[in-house]
Structure 1
Amino acid sequence: MRIERHQVDAERVAQAGEGFVDRIGRQVHSYSRAGLMTTTEWQLITDSYLDYLGALSTTRPALDCPEAEAVLKDAAEAAAGAVSFAAYYPRDRFSVFLDYPNFGMSYDPEYGQDRDPRHRVTAGEWLDAFCLAIVADKVSPHGEAFSWARQLMPDEPLTPALELVDGFVAHFFEEEADFPATSPASQPGLRALRALADADRGAFDAALLALLQDGHHGRGPASLLPLVPIALAALAYRTHGWSPAVDTDYLPHALVTGFETPGPRVRGLGRDPRPDAVARLAAGPVDLDRPVPARPLSADSAARFERRTLEALTPKEGEPLDAWELTGALRYQGYLLSARASQSADATDALLAHLRLGSQLGAAVFRVALAEPGTEAEVTIDGRRLRFPALRDRDFGPAFWETALSYALVTGSPEDLEPLVLAGPAIAAEDRSPFASYRTALHDHLRGADPLPATERALKEVERAGDRSFLPPPVVLFSQLVRGDETSFNLALLDALEAHRDHHRVADRATDPGAPLSLHILGLACHARRSRGWAVHVRSPYLPPRLLQAAGRARGGGGEPVAAS
C-alpha cells in the first residue's frame, strides 16, 4: 500500500534549506549571548533542525546522506537539551553539545533556586524529543533526563499524548506490568508499542498503518516527518528486523534503519567482513569518489606560504634558528598540499615537493627535540644543512608527532622516520587526548615492540568516543595492518575513506584543509605497500596512484622513496 505525503509550503521549504549552515550557527550563538538557554531556546533550535531535515527530504526522501544523519543527531541532542533543562536545572549539572555548529553549553547547579514551572515540558514536547532520541539511538545517554522530566510534569488528565508517554516510559524503563492497558479501541501508538513487546507483527503493522492514515497537517517542512510513526518503525526494524509494511516517504529509509547502508564495515576486531564486499575488492579495485571542490590557490597565496616557509629556514642576523618556527612552516606546507591535492586526482610534481619538504620539516623538529640541552642539532631541509639549538616545546606534542609521522610514512624516507621513532609521541608533552593509545600503538609498531596491547586499548578508546564532530584516527585500519590481514586491511581502508568522505559532506566541512586528503590514512596505505608489499584494492583521489606506485617500487627495490625522488 502506498501513502503519499501531504503538500507543504514551497516557500517555507526553500527558506528552511537556504543558508542553513550559517543560519543555525547564528541562531545558537545569538541565544547563548542573550542569557540563559532554557527549554524554549532548545526547542526552537530543534524546530530549525527538523524544518531543515524535512526540506532535505523533499529532494531525497530516503534521507540517506551524511548531512541528514548529522542534522538528525543534533536535532535529537537539542530536543534532549530541552528535556534535560526541565529535568535537572537548577539542581544538577548537565551539558548539551551540537556537533553541526560546534556549539556547547554547560549548566552548573544554582544553589538556593527552585525549579521554574514555566520550563517544564509538555507531553507532546516530551514525545517529540523521545522519538528523536529513539531514531538517533540516543535513549541510553538521556534516559534519566526523560524519566525525571516525566515525573515533573504537572498533574493533568490522561490525554492520548500523555498515555503514549507512559507507554514509552514503561516500554523502556519499567516492568511490563506497568504498561498501560490496551484494547482494540486504544490509540494506535500505544497498540503499536504493545505489539512490539509481544512480537506481534500483524498487530504492529495495523497500528502503524492507522497512525499514518490519521492524516498529517502543517504547512512547514517538519510536518513531512511524523516523529511517532518514524520512531515506532525504527524500533520495529532495529528490534525485530521488521521493515515497514506500508510504502510511504513519511518513513524515510535511513531514519528507520539507523542509516544502514550496504557495503564493507570493519568497525572492530572479530567481525566477519561481508562476503560481497570481499568479492568486490578481490575482483579488482573498488572506485571511491571524492566530492570535494577544487580549492583556489592564487600565485600570490602560494608565494606567501613558500616565503613564510623559507623564513623559518633562514637565520636572522645575530639570532639562532628557532625550531618552533618549523611547526608553522609545516602548517604552511599543509595548506599548499591541501590545495594541490584538491586540484588533481593524482600526485603532481608540486604536491610531491610539498610532501618531501613536509616530511623533512617534521623530522627536523624531532631531531632538535632529541638533542641534549645546550647543544645544537644539525638537520638537512630542502638541501640546506642547518643547525638549530636543542628545544622541546609543547607544540612538538603528540598531535604534531602524528602529523609528522604521516608525512614520513607517505614519503617513505628512512632518514625522516628515524628521529620520529627515537623520539616517540610524548617526548615534549604528555598525551592527554582520547586517542593516546593509538599513537602508542603506532610507535610500538615502528620501533619493533608488540603493538597489539596498545592497539586493543585504542579500539576501545574509539568505541568509547562514539559519534563526535571530529574524525577519530584510523585505528581499525591500523589494527588490520599489525595483524597481517591484507583482505581486512583493504576492507578497513575502504571503510576509513568512506568515513572521511562522509564527514566532509556535512555542513561546510568540504572546505576544511583536511578534506581533499587524509594524510593519516594515506600514510598507512603507503606503509602497507612499502613494508608488506600488499596490494591496495581501492582506487580513489584520496589515494593518489603515483604515491602508491612509488611505495610499491620501494618495496621491490625498483625505485626510491618519494622523499628522494
Structure 2
Amino acid sequence: MRIERHQVATPALDDFSDRIGRQVHSDSRAGLMTATEWQLISDAFLDQLGALSVTSPELSSPEARALLRNAAEAAAGAVSFAAYYPRERFSVFLDYVNIGMSYDPEAADTPTPLTAHRWVNAFCLAVLTDTFDRHAEAFIFTWQALASSSDLATALLSHFLTRIDTPSNAGDDPALRALHALAIRDRAAFDAAVLGLLDRTDGTRPRTLLPLLPLALSALAHRAHGWLPAVESDYLPHSLVTGFATTERLPEDLTWPVRLDRPTPPLPLHPDSEAHYERGIRRAIAPEPDDGYPVSSLAHAFGQQVRLFRARASHADDITDTQLADLRLASEIGSALSRIALADPGSIVAVTLAGRTVHFPATRDDDTGPGHWQLAVSLALITGNQDDLAPLLLASPTHSTGDRSVYAAYRLALHDHLRGIDARPAVEKARLEAARAQEWGFFPAPVALLSQLVDGDEAGFNLALLDALTAHRDHHRVADRATEPTAPLNLDVLALACHARRHRGWTVRVESPYLPARLLRGHDSAHRH
C-alpha cells in the first residue's frame, strides 16, 4: 500500500545556509533567546528538510542528516530553556551554523512552560536523532509542568522511563493506540494506528511533509522490534525511521582498492593572495632584527603555510613540487615551534627554517600549544622527516599549555603510540572523547583509525581509513563547509595513512584525492635520516 503526500508550496533550497545563519545571529544579538526563538529556528530547519524531501524524498544525504540534527538541537534548546532558565546553567549549540549560546543563572521571571504540542514535537525529534538520553532531565522537568499532564507526552516518556505509568485508556487517539500496541508487540494494531495518523496529515508548510509523530513512532518500532512501516510513503523516509542506519563494512564486502572521490570544488587561489601569503611567511621565518623575532608571527605563518598548502592541493588529485615545498616548510615551522617551547625559559633558541638559522626567544603559550602540536605531528608524519618529529615527541601535547579541548585524549594517545608506549588505555579514553565531540557538534579526531594502527590490524585499518575519509567528505557536503580551508585534505587522516605505509609497510587500499599518491609512496617527499 502506498500513501502519497499532500501538496505544499516549497521555498527555494539555495541560500539556506546564509538565511539560517542570519536568523540565528540576529536572534542572538537581539537579546535573550527564549524557547520561542529556539522553536522558530527548529521550524526553519524542518521546513528546509521538508523542502529537500520534495526533490530527494529518501533524505539520505549528509545535508538531510545535519538539518534533522540541528532541528532537534534547537527544539531541545526550547525544552532546556523552559526547564532550566533562569535557575541552572545550560547551553545550546548548532553545528550547522557553528553558533552556540550559554545561559547562566540570574534573577529573572520563570519562563512560560512549553505547550504539550511543542513538547511532543521536540521529543519526537530527540527520538529520531537518538538524543533523548542527553536531554532526558529537561524533558522530565518540562513534562511535569505540562498543564494537567498530557496523556501523549506521558505515554511517550513512559516508553523510556519505566517508573512512569502508561495511560491506561488510549481511546480514539491513534498515537496512544500505537504506543500501547508497541508495548504489547501487536504489529497489526501498531500499523493501523500509524496509518490513522498519516490520514490526518496536512498543512501548507514544507515541514508538514515529514509528520514528526508517525515518524517517531515508526522509529521507536524499528529500534525496539526491527519493524519497518507497513505502508510505502515519502511521509516516512527509511533513513529517518532507521536513524540513517548503515551496515557494518567487512573486508569481504568490498573490492579493493576502493576509489573515493572528492566532491568539493577547488578553493579560490588568486595570484595576488598567494603572493601576499608568501611575503608574510617569508617575513616570519626570516625576520629583520627590528621585528623583534616574535614567536606569535611564526605561529601565524605556520597556519598560513598550511592553508596555502591545502588551497593548492585542492586544485589537483596529486601534489606538485611546489606543494611538496609548502609541506616541508610547514613541517619545519611546526617543529621549530616545539623546539622553542622545549627550551629553558629566558633562553634564545636557534632553529633552521628554509635553510637559514634564526633565533627566537623560548616561549610556552598558546602559540606553542596542543593544537599546534597536533598539526605539527601530522605534517612531520606526512613528510616522514624524523628530525621534525623528534622535538614533538619530546614535548607532550600539553608541554606549553593545558588542553581542555575535545581532542585532548586523542593527542595523548597519538603521543603514546609514536613514542612506542602502549596506547590502548589512552585510545579508549579518546573513543569516549570522540563520542562527546560528535554530541557537541565538533568533527571528531580519527580515533578508530589510530586504534587499528595501535592494534596492528591492517585490514581493519583500511576499513577505518575508508570510513574516516567518507566522514570527512560528508562533513564538508553540509551547508557551506565545502569552502572551508580544511575541505581538501584531512591532515590527521593523511598522516596516519602515511605513517602506516612508511613505518608498518602496510598497503593503503583506498585511492582518493584525499590521499595524494605521491605522499603515500614517499618518493621525493620523505627526508631519509
TM-score normalised per structure 1: 0.89
Tell me if structure 2 keeps the 8 A contact 1:376–1:387: yes
Cα 1:81/1:322, change in 2 over 3 Å: closer
Structure 2 residue corresponding to 1:40, chosen from 33, 36, 51: 36
Pick from 11, 14, 17: which aligns with 2:11? 14
For residues 225-255 of structure 1, the C-alpha deviation after alignment (integer angstroms, 9 at most, x for no partner) is: 1111000011111111111111100001111
Q: Write the letter of the residue equivalent to 2:526.
A: V
Kindly provide the CA deviation profile for residues 1-31 of structure 1, in whole angstroms up to 9, marking residues without a partner as x.
111111111xxx224x231111111112222
Greater CA drift, 424-433 or 166-175:
166-175
After superposition, where does 1:530-549 map in structure 2 within 5 Å? Answer: 530-549=502-521
In the TM superposition, what whole-angstrom CA distance separates every residue of 1:240-274 from its partner, at most 9, and x where no partner exists?
A: 1111111100001111111112453xxxxxxxxxx
User: CA shift at 1:174, angstroms?
Assistant: 4.2
Query: 2:501 aligned with 1:562, yes or no?
Result: no
1:115: which partner in 2?
Answer: 110
Residue 163 (structure 1) aligned with residue 159 (structure 2): no
Aligned twin of 1:198: 184
CA separation in 2, counterparts of 1:24 and 1:455?
37
Partner residue, 1:60: 56
Query: 1:32/1:315 Cα in 2 relative to 1: closer, same or farther (>3 Å)?
Result: closer
Q: Is the 8 A contact 1:394 1:428 kept in 2?
A: yes
Report 1:246-325 matches (<5 A). 246-264=231-249, 277-281=250-254, 283-318=255-290, 321-325=293-297
The aligned counterpart of 1:269 is none
Shift of 1:428: 1.4
Query: Quick check: 425-434 or 509-518, which moved more?
Result: 425-434
Give the corresponding residue for 1:134: 127
Shift of 1:560: 5.6
Output aligned runs, 1:172-187, within 5 Å.
Answer: 172-175=160-163, 178-182=165-169, 186-187=172-173
Structure 1 residues 313 and 466: CA distance shift in structure 2, 3 A: closer
**2: CA distance between counterparts of 1:53 and 1:328?**
39
- Which residue number corresponds to residue 410 of structure 2? 438
User: Shift of the alpha carbon at 1:175?
Assistant: 4.1
Q: Return the offset for 1:77.
A: 1.6
How much does 1:145 deviate?
2.0
How far 1:320 moved relative to its partner? 5.3
* Structure 1 partner of 2:354: 382
C-alpha separation between the residues in 1 aligned to 2:157 and 2:397? 48
Query: What is the identity, as a one-letter code, of the residue corresponding to 1:165?
Result: A
SS at match of 2:204: coil
Report the alpha carbon displacement of residue 467 of structure 1 after superposing the two structures with TM. Answer: 2.6
1:172 alignment partner, SS class? coil
Measure, in 2, the Cα distance between the counterparts of 1:454 and 1:399: 18
- Aligned to 1:173, the other structure's residue is in SS state coil
Contact 2:341-2:364 at 8 Å conserved across structures:
yes
The aligned runs of 1:62-141 (5 Å cut-off) are 62-111=58-107, 113-116=108-111, 119-141=112-134
Q: Distance in 2 between the 1:357 and 1:186 partners?
A: 72
* TM alignment of 1:438-457, pairs within 5 A: 438-457=410-429
Match of 1:515 among 482, 487, 503: 487
* Contact 1:366-1:420 at 8 Å conserved across structures: yes
Alpha-carbon distance in 2 for matches of 1:249, 1:104: 33
Is residue 383–residue 527 contact of structure 2 (8 Å, CA) maintained in 1? yes
Distance in 2 between the 1:25 and 1:523 partners? 33
Show the counterpart of 2:4.
4
Is the partner of 1:514 in helix, strand or coil?
coil
Q: Check 1:145–1:460 CA distance in 2 against 1; reply closer, same or farther (3 A cut).
A: closer
> Letter of the aligned partner of 1:5 in structure 2?
R
CA distance in 1 between partners of 2:418 and 2:381 (Å): 10
Offset at residue 318 of structure 1 (A)? 5.0
SS in 1 for 2:11: helix
Q: 2:329 aligns with which of 343, 357, 375?
A: 357
Amino acid at match of 2:364: R
Note the alpha carbon deviations across 1:465-522, whole angstroms, 9 max, x for none: 3433321111111111011110111111111111111111111111111110011100
Q: How far apart in 2 are the matches of 1:306 and 1:61?
A: 47
In structure 2, what is the Cα distance between the partners aligned to 1:258 and 1:222? 18
Q: For residues 441-488 of structure 1, give each alpha carbon's deviation from its aligned partner in whole angstroms, at most 9, with x where no partner exists.
A: 222222222222222222222234343332111111111101111011
Q: CA deviation at 1:279?
A: 1.7
Root-mean-square deviation (Å): 2.1
- CA 1:391 to 1:92, structure 2 compared with 1: closer, same or farther past 3 Å? closer
Structure-2 residue corresponding to 1:143: 136
User: Deviation of residue 324 (structure 1)?
Assistant: 3.3
Letter in 2 for 1:469: G
Amino acid at match of 2:132: V
Count residues in correspondence.
Answer: 529
Aligned match of 1:270: none
Distance 1:363 1:124 in 2: 57
Aligned-partner residue type, residue 251 of structure 2: V
CA distance in 2, matches of 1:373, 1:207: 72
Unaligned runs of 5+ in 2: none
**Alignment match of 1:210 (pick from 196, 199, 202):** 196
Distance 2:128 2:437 in 1: 20
Return the TM-score normalized by structure 2.
0.95
The alpha-carbon distance between structure 1 residues 87 and 503, as it changes in their structure 2 partners (threshold 3 A), is same
> Match of 1:385, SS?
strand
| Local SS of the residue matching 2:160 | helix
Range 27-36 or range 358-367, more displaced: 27-36
Partner Cα separation in structure 1 for residue 7 and residue 366 of structure 2:
58
Distance 1:484 1:126, change over 3 A: same
Identity of matched residues, % = 57
Q: Distance in 1 between matches of 2:295 and 2:134?
A: 45
Alpha-carbon spacing, 1:474–1:373, altered in 2? closer, same or farther (3 Å): same
Give the AA of the match of 1:251: L
Counterpart code for 2:3: I
Give the partner amino acid of 1:8: V
Tell me the distance in 1 between the aligned counterparts of 2:62 and 2:455: 31
Q: Tell me which amino acid in the other structure corresponds to 2:152.
A: L
